[in-house]
Amino acid sequence: MKVPVPSNVVEQAARKKLQERGVTLKDIAKIVYDLQVKFYESLTFEECLESVDAVLYKREIQHAILVGIELDELAERGQLSEPLLSIIKSDEGLFGVDETIALGSVFGFGSIAVTSFGYLDKGKVGIIKELDDFKGQTNTFLDDLVASVAASAAARLAHRLRDRDENRSRQELEKLDLEDKIG
Ligand SMILES: [Mg+2]
């Protein structure tokens, strides 16, 4: 009989992997802040951090993180077969599977997440740029995964801030939050 892996095990593994590879939630929240402060002057860093934390409860995001980082680590240790090993190690520009996996994980957060991901993929800011430039480890998938988490958190925040502006009740907001965490 197949026994499913408990959700909290997957969630913790994804968070741990990000940390082990040198990415903090604060690094991602800084990107979210820069994306959203243009639209909400009163935005706080704490709100961005809270949104990054919230999207990391999404299974689709956790799974993308686990798959992508695993491939980065296998490539780093020379444990993939050729020619895939060389393609991932050299961060081959036309490869695109790193972007595809990351992009696939943002769909649950809608069009703002998709367009923000494209923007971050092109612009490479903050920790995304640092990861892209860093030669000490293979970050072929990681930079895109960080962009996807930031894009999802930014989209979630944009919708939450509108809800707050409209003074929706605490009960309604809690319901929306619960809905978001399905999957
Ligand atoms: Mg990449």
Task: Evaluate whether 58 touches 103 at the Cβ level (below 8 Å).
Answer: no
Candidates 1.10.150.20, 3.40.50.720, 1.10.1040.10, 1.10.3760.10; correct CATH number of 7-180? Answer: 1.10.3760.10
Ion ligand 1: residues, CB within 5 A, are 98, 140, 143-144
- Of 130, 14, 28, 121, give the one whose Cα is nearest residue 70: 14
Query: What is the per-residue pLDDT across 142-167, written as a single tens digit (0 to 9) for each?
Result: 999 999 999 999 999 999 888 888 87
pTM check: above 0.85: yes
Q: Is 104 exposed, middle or buried (0-12, 13-18, 19+ CB in 10 A)?
A: middle
Ligand 1 geometric centre to CA of 4 (Å): 30
139 CA distance to ligand 1 middle (Å): 7
Cβ neighbours for 101, distance < 8 A, ≥ 6 positions apart: 64, 67, 68, 141, 144, 145
For residue 182, the CA-to-ligand 1 centroid distance in Å is 28
Classify 4 in phi/psi space as left (phi over 0), alpha (psi -120 to 50) or beta.
Answer: beta
Distance from residue 175's CA to the centre of ligand 1 (Å): 35
Compute the average pLDDT of residues 1-17. Answer: 92
Residue 163: other Cβ atoms inside 10 A? 14
CA of 33 from ligand 1 middle (Å) equals 22
- At residue 183 the predicted structure's pLDDT band, cuts being 50, 70 and 90, is low
Question: What would the pLDDT profile of 63-76 be if each residue is shown by its tens digit?
Answer: 999 999 999 999 99
Residue ranges of domains in the chain = 7-180
- State the distance from the centre of ligand 1 to the C-alpha of 41, rounded, in angstroms: 31
